[in-house]
Structure formats: C-alpha cells, structure tokens
Chain A
Amino acid sequence: MTSQQNIKVDYIARVEGQGRLQIEVADGIVKDAKFGIFEPPRFFESFLVGRKYNEVHELTSRICGICQAPHQIVSLRAIENALGLEISEQTRELRRLLNFANHLQSHTLNLYMLAAPDYLKYDSAISMAGEHLDLVKKALMLKKLGNDISEVVGGRAIHPVTALLGGFTELPTKIQLEELKKRLQSALQDGLETIEIFSKLNIPDFERNFEQISLVCKDVYPINEGRLCSTKGLDIDESEYRDKIEEKDVGHSWAKHSFVTGRDSFLVGPLARFNLNFSTLGDKSKNAAEQIGFKPTVNQPFKNLVARAIELLNYIEYSINTIESLIPLKDEIVVQGDVKPKAGVGSAITEAPRGILYHNFELDEKGIVKKVDIVTPTAHNAANVENDLKEYVPTLQDLSVEEATLKCEMLVRAYDPCISCSVHMIKLE
C-alpha cells in the first residue's frame, strides 16, 4: 500500500454483530482509526426500568446470544448484592460450571470458525472443511460439549432457564454429571491439540504497551467473581468499578469507549485473564503454556488467540474439577417467587468469554428496577482496538491494500468482538 491509502471494511465478517473499520492514512501515518459499530441500539438500560428484580436476568440474557450465561449470572449476582442475599456454595459451583461451559463453546467458535480460516487461507470454516475436516469436526465436538453442559446445568443451551435468584430450580443428576465428566476427560487431549494448533499458526507478533484488566481470585482461575485487577496496579472491589473505569461518547460508534481514570484504553478478555491469573491455571494448561514458551506478560493483541486456546483447555480442566466437587449434589432447590424484594443498589462483575462484564441495578422496595448500568467486554475493548490499529497499520506498508485490510480484520477478530452486546447510548456529532 502507498503511504496515502486508507483502509476500509464496510461490514466486518466472522465476528458477532454489525461493525466496520475506517482507517485514514496520510504520509504513512494513521490520522484516524475507527472501529465503528453500526448495529442499532436496543435500549436495554431504558426498558429494563420498570421491570421486576426477579426477571432481570431473563431479560439481560437477551443482550447476547453467545454469552447469555455470563449476562444472566452477573445480573443475578448484582441483584443478590442489592438484596443482600447469600447463595450456597453448591449454587456458586453450578454457576461456575454453567459459565465455564459458555466460555468453552464461545472460545471454540472464535478459534476454529471465526479466526482459523484467516490463517489457513479460507473464507470460512465451511470451506475449510474440505481439506481440514479434522479441525472442523474437533470444533463441532468441543462446541457441542460446551452446549450440552449448558443444557444439563441450565436447562437450555442458549438463554438457559434453571438459574434464578438464590439458586437453581432444577439440578443435574449424578448420572448426567458423570457422563459429562467422561466427555470432558476425553476432550482434554483435544484441548492440548488446540493449543498446539494455534501456537503453530503464523500469528503476528505486533506488540503495544497497554493496560490489561481482569478479575483475579486467590486460589482459582476467575470466572464469576473476584477482585478487579490490572497489569498496571488496579486492584479494586466490584462495587468500586465506577470510581476507576470511565466511559466517553465517540461520534462514530454506537458503543461508548472505556478508559481507566487518569489513564488510557485497556484490554480485557483471554489475554488479560491469562496474564493476571497464570498461577491459577489448571496444571495441564499451565504446562502446555510453558512448553510453548507462552508466559506473562504478553502484550501482543493477536496472541489473544493463543491465550484463548490455553483457556479452552483450562476450562475443560476446571469443569472436571467442578463436577467432582459437586458430587454428591445436595438437594437444594429454589422455587420461583421465594426471594422477596427489597430496596437497594447492587453491582457485580463477571468474566464473559470476551472479558469483564459489569451490571449495576437500583431497585425500589417493591423490587422494581429504577436504574441500570451495563458495560460489556466489547465496549471495554473498543478503544483499545482503535489504539492498536493506529500503531499497527504503519507497520503494514509493504503489503497490498487487500493484505493490509485483511490483517486489520484479523486483529479485530483476535479480540472476538461481540458487537450486539456493546451497543450503548452515545452522543453523536
């Protein structure tokens, strides 16, 4: 490409939702890089006002068809925080399993079906199936495993139904859990192979010094709860989120841009979780990471793919452990309507496949929602994608415009954006 050529993608393929790229180049310098989200808003924060505390998670689930379980779990936790409601250890473990399963299917989808075709030079997993049938079959198997766990624990794979405030309406049987455990154990090998496959791809090593944020727990890899920590010293409780993370409107996108107060954009998702939680990875996952020389702190956004592959194995390991700790199941069932309303404000942060997800609700004494604040992983990442592009594009001068454009799309796909989630209200110029 010449030093004056712009890069433009009207509709980015192989990501969830409707987004575009517009990168303006003059004299070899990026004047402007826009990751434009043109998916129209659905105004969730508006129509949730007036709805009831015990249906909120059912409604927020519909923010995203890929990461529905984390949306449900974080809503449940935020409202439980508002009500001061304690949940049992078994409920926490079941919610962890439900979210691990969600990450498993979502990571598989991104790695094999959305990202891999770029590196193997295909336009889709469908056309990839001709020469790489084994990869596509592995992807379908792993995705099905994730979905089946969600179905057993959640009652339905997409938009699960068993999770309520305080617990679950129905529990999986011991036989179901043991069957899943067997399948997970045989999937360990597929997890290892996934790491091998993705560590051997020719993934660009573009590096940039940015802050990375994820939940951190003391003894376990974070999934549904933890402290909010960063590679630059952030360490806060979920209730302090709004003191440290701010948003600003941008004219070209329906998603707001997030930044750390007094600092800059940041990255959330697999790479951030890996870097901040290396010590609590499952044994097999940690060994596999060490064997390919992948150790914290990695500041290369494309390497989200490698971190995602390591996490895929990690979630298989953790799911097995969780199932083992769940058996024998205690007969703890919640009945719809058991949890009574109360006035209060509650917030919670959960890891979704693409990174931290924040929900905050204010309830009145009848449990009617008065105020809502939701910030999704892709909204957290959007500004960082643009800052990456500003530094990355000038390194692509030797490529044709087509090749450079593809590289930019590949960078976006490494973040695995979930655009529908991120759409928010913004001020337009």
Chain B
Amino acid sequence: MSEKLKVAVVKMTGCAGCQMEFLRLEDEFMDLLDKVDISYWYMARSNNVETKYDAVFIEGSISTPRELKEVKEFRNNSDILVAFGDCACSGCIPSILNWIPPKESAKVYDHFSAVHENMPTFQKILPLSEYVEVDAEIRGCPPHKDMILEVVKSVLMKRKPFLRSHPVCVECKLKENVCLLTAENRPCMGPTTSGGCGAICPSINRVCEGCYGPMSDSNAKSLADVFKEKCKVDKEDIVRKFRKYAGYTSALIEEADN
C-alpha cells in the first residue's frame, strides 16, 4: 500500500475510556503507525488538521447541537464512520438519564433549568446511528482493543470487519464456565449481550452486566421473564438491569421502559 490510511479519533461526550483502549494497543502501536496516519486526535496531538479521512472513530454520545454539527461534518468527510464504544453505539450509562424528566433532575441541582435554557443540550441520549449513517459499531464499555485492531485492519484490507454477533454465552461455554443463570439462578445478562469481552465477568463469578450492549436478535423479554420467575428478581431491579448500558436501543427498550 503506497499511502497511509488517514484516520481521525473524535471525542463527543464521554469518558475517553475508548480512546484509552485505543492507546492500549501498546504492542501494536509502532506497527500501526507504519500503516496509519492519525491526522486528527485531540487527546493525542496538536495541529489537528480537518481533512478527508478513510476512517473516523467517534467516541461518546451526541449531546449538544454543536456535537451534532461536528459529527455530520465528519460523516461527510470520511469513507468509513465507526461508532466507537457503547456511548456511540447505544448511549451507554448516560442514557439512563433518558428516563428522568428534567423536572426530577432539577431537584438534584440548584440551577438545572438555567443550563437547559442557556446552553442547549439534548434531552435524550440516542445511538449515533439515529443521527448519521454508521458503517461499523465497535461495542463495549470499553470495547476490547482487539476489536479496534480488527476494524483498522478491515479498512486497510477493504473488507468487512469481523465483529461478533454472538452472545457472551458462547464465550462462556468456550471457557467451560458453570452457567450462573441456569445453574445458580443468578440474573446474568449474558444471553442477550454481545460477545467480544471474552466473558470476563462470568469467569470471575460475577453476572454479566451487559456492557457490550445487545447482541443481534436478542430476546430481552424472555430473559426478563427468567429473571423474574427463576431468579426471583423484583421488577425494579429488572428495569435497572436493562436500563444501564443500552436501555434506549430497540432491543432492550421494552424491558427498560417498564
């Protein structure tokens, strides 16, 4: 390949954990720089030149009109636009706010209404795909660095990235874990959650909390029923479970809404 890939890493409203995971490619970093020109990345460099990109990684959620304008510009200037991490893919934890009426939130702060009047923020945290066309989603809070590498490679090789669509359960079985849901009646989100993490939590005797967002064709209702009938979890706790990393996605919203 003669020319390097032009890449931008862009932060919207979020915690920078996805960017930190990108920087966690410590072993691969120098090789990556042979193939990739990171021409825009505010956290990592000055002289950020806005130009045309081969791929743009968008971290964080869109929460102001300014951010929406920026993301649209990046969409227009890039061949590939990647929703990078849960905030961009599903709204992540900040989307819990979607169920709290501003009047309720106002009780927590002294000057809540002043903020909404004077500096426009959106009332709802929505997936990036609600605003612009998204070519690839790297799920996870944070997404594992191998998935970032997979997307970079796929752009370099001009092929579709292999991103997992199977549930965490597949990875749990590969690790030969005892199933926390069926064997111990513990409310594990694994059956509806995208794999990619390597089933970290069930492997250390913690139920999956769903931090990679919903898998494709997940059956959230059935899982909620199992939580209720088999795990004896009360309704409020079930709602809290579904209203966490991806509550506002179409796959989980019904259970999160209850």
Contacts and interface: CB of A to CB of B under 8 A. Distances in A.
Interface residues of B, number: 61
Nearest to A368: B236
B146 interface: no
A409 B115 CA distance: 28
B209 to A, nearest CB: 7
B188 to A, nearest CB: 10
A39 interface: yes
B132 interface: no
Nearest to A39: B13
A170 B18 CA distance: 25
Contacts of B63: 40, 42
Contacts of A125: 44
B258 to A, nearest CB: 14
Nearest to A366: B236
A360 to B, nearest CB: 13
A365 to B, nearest CB: 14
A355 to B, nearest CB: 17
A65 B17 contact: yes
A198 B8 CA distance: 30
A45 interface: yes
A140 B26 contact: yes
A129 interface: yes
Contacts of B17: 62, 64-66, 68, 158-159
B96 to A, nearest CB: 4
A147 B211 CA distance: 20
A62 B24 contact: no
B46 A43 contact: no
Interface string B163-194: 00000000000000000000000100000000
A13 B201 contact: no
A-B pairs with lowest CB-CB distance, top 8: A65-B17, A124-B45, A427-B111, A170-B204, A13-B46, A428-B118, A65-B15, A46-B105
6 contacts: A47-B93, A140-B29, A143-B24, A157-B21, A161-B206, A372-B108
Interface of B: 11, 13-21, 23-24, 26-27, 29-30, 33, 38, 41-48, 63-64, 67, 92-94, 96-97, 100, 104-105, 108-112, 114-115, 118-119, 121, 141-142, 186, 197, 200-201, 204-207, 209, 211, 237, 240
Interface of A: 11, 13-18, 39-43, 45-47, 49-52, 55, 58-59, 62-66, 68, 109, 113-114, 117, 123-127, 129, 136-137, 140-141, 143-144, 147, 155-159, 161-162, 164, 169-170, 249, 254, 333, 335-336, 371-372, 409, 418, 420, 425-429
